[in-house]
Amino acid sequence: MNPSLEPPIALQGHKVLVTGSARGLGESFVRALVQAGARVAISDVLHERGQALARELGERTCYVPMDLLDPQAIEAGVAQAAQALGGLDGLINNAAVTNSGGKYFNEIEIDTWDRVMQVNVRGTWLVTRAAHPHLKASGRGRVVNLASDTALWGAPRLLAYVASKGAVMAMTHALAREFGPDEITVNAIAPGLTLVEATEYVPPQRHQHYLDGRAIARPQLPADVDAAALFLLSPASGFITGQVLPVNGGFVMN
């Protein structure tokens, strides 16, 4: 987040778990959340980076190791996050296998497909399941899932990832209905191609394709996505649920 900007939304005292937050968009969410006054559990499989981020940001953060491939580690990690923060009001399901692209549909290995689905889809379900009792107890629970606009426009040579993000969108709709009685909202953000370490491998032609197709024709940065996440975690968004919000400079439009 641009440090010269005031946080657009205050989240004083909110307690938020962000998965996959040692780097990239997740790290940006963590920084924006801390700036907005929240307490944050950083979680990842990149332990050194996650711990370093928590050290840098200080006492309102903690680091929780959690591998989304491991259901038991998810249960333990969510419990540890809730204990460290004193409960959970918010969850950002950000962790994903993001580097599975480049191959055509008939070149993808079965193992790659399975790993993408296990982390991006099953992992999102299991983290949300483990967080649900804490979110319910808070009385103001919020779930924000990271989808992707690739699932809205059908990006080629990215099939496992695109299919997993389509599933995240469908899960957002269905969980919103199941969580509604507990006044927990469930929404998704569908970012466009955003400049982070993980997208450095994306070919220049794909970056150009995005630049050419955006209504706002500039590169997308993590900070472009932060405010949407803060809003969807805030009390102001309490009657918005089951929605997928593209944040992509107008590359795809609802």
- Interface with ligand NAD, residue 96, by CB under 6 A: yes
Give CA torsion, residues 225, 228, 231, 237, to 10 deg: -160
Tell me the CA distances in angstroms from 59 to 3, 64, 66, 83, 232, one per residue in order. 19, 14, 20, 14, 24
- Interface with ligand NAD, residue 95, by CB under 6 A: yes
Residue among 246, 250, 156 nearest 210 (CA): 250
Cα–Cα distance measured from residue 170 to residue 192, given in angstroms and rounded to the nearest whole number: 18
The continuous run of DSSP H or E covering 78 comes out as: helix 71-85
- Interface with ligand NAD, residue 40, by CB under 6 A: no
Q: How far is the CB of 28 from ligand NAD (least distance, A)?
A: 8
Catalytic residue among 63, 104, 161, 201: 161
- Interface with ligand NAD, residue 68, by CB under 6 A: yes
Active site residue 104: no
Q: Which of the residues 194 through 253 are near ligand NAD (CB under 6 A)?
A: 194, 196-199
- Interface with ligand NAD, residue 169, by CB under 6 A: no
Q: How far is the CB of 29 from ligand NAD (least distance, A)?
A: 9
Of 46, 91, 158, 171, the one binding ligand NAD (CB under 6 A) is: 46
**CB closer to ligand NAD out of 40 and 138:** 40
Residue that the structure tokens 């009685």 belong to: 181
Phi first, then psi: give them for residue 111, nearest 5 degrees. -60, -40
Residue among 90, 38, 19, 130 nearest 232 (CA): 90
Contacting range for ligand NAD; rule: CB under 6 A; set: 53-61, 126-134, 177-185, 186-194 = 186-194
Please report how many Cα atoms fall inside a 13 Å half-sphere around the Cα of residue 141, on the Cβ side.
Answer: 26
Residue among 183, 186, 187, 204 nearest 195 (CA): 204
Q: How far is the CB of 95 from ligand NAD (least distance, A)?
A: 4
Of 24, 101, 141, 246, the one binding ligand NAD (CB under 6 A) is: 24
Cα–Cα distance measured from residue 164 to residue 183, given in angstroms and rounded to the nearest whole number: 26
Q: How far is the CB of 47 from ligand NAD (least distance, A)?
A: 10
**CB closer to ligand NAD out of 183 and 199:** 199
Of 138, 148, 172, 237, the one binding ligand NAD (CB under 6 A) is: 148
Q: Residue with the closest Cβ to ligand NAD?
A: 24
**CB closer to ligand NAD out of 138 and 187:** 187
Cα–Cα distance measured from residue 54 to residue 40, given in angstroms and rounded to the nearest whole number: 9
Residues ≥6 apart with Cβ < 8 Å to 18: 26, 29, 30, 33, 40, 41, 42, 43, 91, 92, 94
Active site residues: 161
Contact positions toward ligand NAD, by CB under 6 A?
19-20, 22-26, 44-46, 66-69, 94-98, 119, 146, 148, 191, 193-194, 196-199
